[in-house]
A and B are shown apart, each in its own frame.
Chain A
Amino acid sequence: MDYLPQILFLLVLAVTAFIMYKRISRIKSTIQLGRPLDRSDNPGERFKVMTLVAFGQKKMFKRIVPAILHLFLYVGFVLINIEVLEIILDGLLGTHRLFAEPVGYVYGLLINFFEFLAFAVIVACVIFLIRRNLLPIRRFKARELTSWPKLDANLILVIEIVLMLAILTMNATDQILQTRASDLAAAGMHAYPVTGALFFSSWLVPLFDGMNTQSLVVIERAAWWFHIVGIFAFAIYITYSKHLHIFLAFPNTYYSNLNPKGEMRNMDEVTNEVKMMLGMPVEGADQASPAEIARFGAKDINDLTWKNIMDSYSCTECGRCTAECPANLTGKKLSPRKIMMDTRDRAEEVGKSIASGGKGLEDGKFLLDDYIQREELMACTTCNACVEACPVNIDPLSIILQMRRYITMEESKAPASWNSMYSNIETSMAPWKFPPTDRFKWADDLKKESSTEK
């Protein structure tokens, strides 16, 4: 009978672990649908980028107010996990506050510190809810923020508040129970280890003070269970949510593009053809594999690289990219955030379908047209403002450019004026239709001008 809570806990933990394992494997295999891309070079530099951008939140600090509030959530999340570890061990071993005795008086300080974090998290979440829902902040109002992304963002904040309140409730009742050792002993229960006064939860003590010991134990246990089961459920929820960035920000920044932002990746499969056309020797031409090129450019998620898909799962939907996008700022349909959200939605759709034995990529839908419209792709000035702005080093531009390649090279559906630009380059060696013989005319002009000036 005494073991029942432990068995129950083990069960809940096992189910959570199983679901998480399934979710993580699904996301991993969906990311792997993307084309290969080598980002294994330069581990030292990569580690540095990850440390600065993900761990150090470097790019968040371009906007100081959300940066500080976000820092509370972030530090709160990371450090409160230490307490969650204790809670999990308590749950498995049937102990209560396992670390209290070995750590000694430091334990009280630690719990006080966690309470401070819990409080800071609540404050930050409340302010975030206000900012998101009540203040006129442009990046929180956009057409891609349809009902689900909006709900998702609010749910995360509300869940975090509720979880933190559960911790504080648990600690408040715990504090009272620490003073009721004799009552507990009379009822045949263990005494609650003494933690010393806990500052923030003591604000809640008046709510529970008058209750009898039995009820307090029930409330304390209920809050304990609610909190930990809530955390487990939240962990699973996160994998379906923009909140996934709390994990993926790390690998995603580690695998950042380290080259200059202006560089577009070379399509080696095209290079071979070009060299053949120009009668130049082609490396590895005699090697058997007649390069199985599925498609030039990207029409669907499997034409993108795995990093593009990882980017989409890492997106926080914060809209910093869109807020800086010149096309979006001037009322065009393009929104780099939407590009990322569409990519993720399509990836999730395909992944889900594959997992359930469905048609997967062959479902007759494509990222192009079914999710991302051509008008969006055409409006991009390749200015890199979105890439610069993203706090987790996502590159929406890379997706846009690969899709443009598909439109031009596979479909030949570039806008007419681009087609003229192409033919001008082919015939006049310049994007404008000038006679190539005029290219050096400026020099004659300059010589004339400067000799008349003499």
Chain B
Amino acid sequence: MSVNEIKIPTMADMSAAGDSPEVLFWVGCAGSFDDRYKAVTKAFVKILNMVGVSFAVLGPEESCTGDPARRAGNEFLFQMQAVSNIQVLDGYNVKKIVTACPHCFNTLKNEYPALGGNYEVIHHSTFLQQLIDEGRIRLKEGGAFKGRKITFHDSCYLGRANNVYEAPRKVIEALDAELVEMKRCRTKGLCCGAGGAQMFKEPEEGKKDVNIERTEEALATGAQTIAVGCPFCMTMMADGVKNKEKEGQVEVRDLAELIAESEGL
């Protein structure tokens, strides 16, 4: 890490200082609480620090977007969350949001407008791709990932739900890694099994768990790294890899972690 101490400004601090950031980093519940995904949050913040992006987080003022409640059918709870989040966001006059969670991304971008919350929302894969395109992140050729086989698992809420397919792939290609595709990818990508609030209950009875089916497909590519861009996919794929007893050989990593690693952060 650089000599400068890492900065994690909150909106409250910033607005107290009469300042406003370029972009709000919406951390999300998994990014705040889930042990594994907190590492992604940290990696992303390190990148923001390194590049010098003017950002802030809501910190303790952040609250669940309401996505899982809405998908499970609790529209009431969703709207309670959404309306109060919009009050907070509008209170700080937020214009642009970046998030490392496709579910937060989808909800903030597509569903808050109907309740009066209008923001420019992008997923961190797109954000990273833009930083790379602008030359603000320069990845060294022949870096840590040279020749490493990476497969990308499309998350439903990034891909089909919002048609973001290329940004994560461009990020992986920028790592100088070899991108290997699974049989079902892009529009045909197979869900990890956690969406639609499945994360928060046991699956229905069946022959197999969805994440096992997907993990088998990912392992079949021979990739050493399964790249994801979603906290739920992260959990499901990591569980799948564990189930197949491949933790030693295959890692499940978020795109931000890969960039941070290759930058030595």
Chain A's interface: helix, strand, loop or mixed, by majority? Answer: helix
Count of B interface residues, CB-CB < 8 Å: 77
Q: What are 21 A-B interface contacts by the 8 Å CB criterion?
A: A262-B156, A266-B111, A278-B83, A330-B207, A334-B204, A381-B191, A384-B156, A385-B190, A418-B72, A418-B201, A420-B200, A421-B68, A422-B74, A425-B64, A425-B66, A429-B81, A430-B63, A431-B64, A443-B45, A449-B42, A450-B6
Cα separation A372 to B157 with both chains bound (whole Å): 26
Please encode chain B, from 20 to 58, with 1 for each CB lying within 8 Å of some chain A CB and 0 for all others: 000000010101111000100110011000000000010
> Whole-angstrom distance from the CB of A60 to the nearest CB of chain B?
14
Known contacts A446-B6, A447-B5; is-contact A430 B32 (Cβ 8 Å): yes
**Contact residues in B for A333 (Cβ distance below 8 Å):** 204-205
- Cβ-neighbour of A330 out of B6, B63, B115, B213 (below 8 A): B213
Cα separation A404 to B207 with both chains bound (whole Å): 24
**Contact residues in B for A327 (Cβ distance below 8 Å):** 204, 206, 210
Let me know if A454 and B73 touch, CB within 8 A: no
Let me know if A382 and B69 touch, CB within 8 A: no
Count of A interface residues, CB-CB < 8 Å: 75
Residues of A within 8 A of B (CB): 259-264, 266-267, 270-271, 273-275, 277-278, 280, 296-297, 324, 326-327, 329-334, 375, 378-385, 387-388, 401, 404-409, 414-415, 417-418, 420-422, 425-426, 429-432, 434, 436-443, 445-447, 449-451, 453-454
Known contacts A263-B111, A330-B207, A380-B196; is-contact A270 B191 (Cβ 8 Å): no
Known contacts A278-B84, A382-B195, A383-B196; is-contact A447 B213 (Cβ 8 Å): no
Let me know if A263 and B73 touch, CB within 8 A: no
Let me know if B74 and A274 touch, CB within 8 A: no
**Contact residues in A for B76 (Cβ distance below 8 Å):** 270, 273-274, 409
Q: B residues 134-188 with Cβ under 8 Å of A?
A: 156-157, 160-163, 187-188
Cα separation A447 to B41 with both chains bound (whole Å): 13
Let me know if A260 and B200 touch, CB within 8 A: no
Let me know if A262 and B161 touch, CB within 8 A: yes
- Max chain A C-beta neighbours (<10 A), residue from B68, B160, B163: B160
Let me know if B68 and A451 touch, CB within 8 A: no
Q: Is B110 an interface residue (CB 8 A)?
A: yes
Q: Is B114 an interface residue (CB 8 A)?
A: yes
Task: Tell me the nearest residue of chain B to A386, going by C-beta.
Answer: B160
> Whole-angstrom distance from the CB of B77 to the nearest CB of chain A?
6
Let me know if A422 and B69 touch, CB within 8 A: yes
Q: Is B247 an interface residue (CB 8 A)?
A: no
Cα separation A85 to B5 with both chains bound (whole Å): 81
Let me know if A431 and B71 touch, CB within 8 A: no
**Contact residues in A for B196 (Cβ distance below 8 Å):** 380-383
Q: Is B222 an interface residue (CB 8 A)?
A: no
Let me know if B74 and A414 touch, CB within 8 A: yes
Q: Is B62 an interface residue (CB 8 A)?
A: yes
- Max chain A C-beta neighbours (<10 A), residue from B57, B72, B79, B191: B72
Q: Is B106 an interface residue (CB 8 A)?
A: yes
Let me know if A430 and B64 touch, CB within 8 A: yes
**Contact residues in A for B41 (Cβ distance below 8 Å):** 442, 446
> Whole-angstrom distance from the CB of A324 to the nearest CB of chain B?
7
Let me know if A266 and B115 touch, CB within 8 A: yes
Let me know if B59 and A439 touch, CB within 8 A: yes
- Max chain B C-beta neighbours (<10 A), residue from A278, A334, A375: A278
